[in-house]
Amino acid sequence: MTISIRPIKPSDKVRWLELFQEYIVFYKSKLSVEQFDLTWQRINSDFNINALVAELDGKVVGFTHYIWRPDTWEAQDFCYLEDLYTDPKVRGKGVGRALIKAVEDIAIAKGSKQLYWTTAPDNELARALYDKIAITNMVEYKIYLNK
């Protein structure tokens, strides 16, 4: 089995949507059809959302979305890995790690000094991977607006 990572393309829309919907359900959340469409449009425009897909034996089995964030402490933007999801049938085969590595390589090439992301505290499977490849040194706080 060979994992390949590449930029998302318009022909990936159906499979990306399946995986993105699974991802949203995994986090016990809901998005409107309009929001899924808007995210797809943003990925496929000059908007600051980038996406990669992972293929295993020619089939799309995962994706990641990442954005560039200006920083007040560095001249170069930081890279924020916003979403990462792999098909549950291929978990443990290195797909998530390969997606993160691909974003890391892109961030390094752009001169970024930081790639970071968050996950839910109870996402133990993902955290088992993340703890092997990254450090955690911040606590996140949120205020949800317009509840």
The rounded distance, in Å, linking the Cα atoms of 112 and 130 is: 19
How many residues are there in the chain? 147
Residue 51: is it exposed, middle or buried by C-beta count within 10 angstroms (0-12/13-18/19+)?
Answer: buried
Over the range 73-90, which residues count as b (16 or more CB within 10 Å of their CB) and which as e? eeeebbbbbebbbbbeeb
Catalytic residue among 23, 80, 85, 130: 130
Q: Is 130 one of the annotated active-site residues of the chain? A: yes
Enter the DSSP assignment of 77.
P
Q: Would you please indicate which residues are annotated as catalytic (active-site) residues?
A: 130
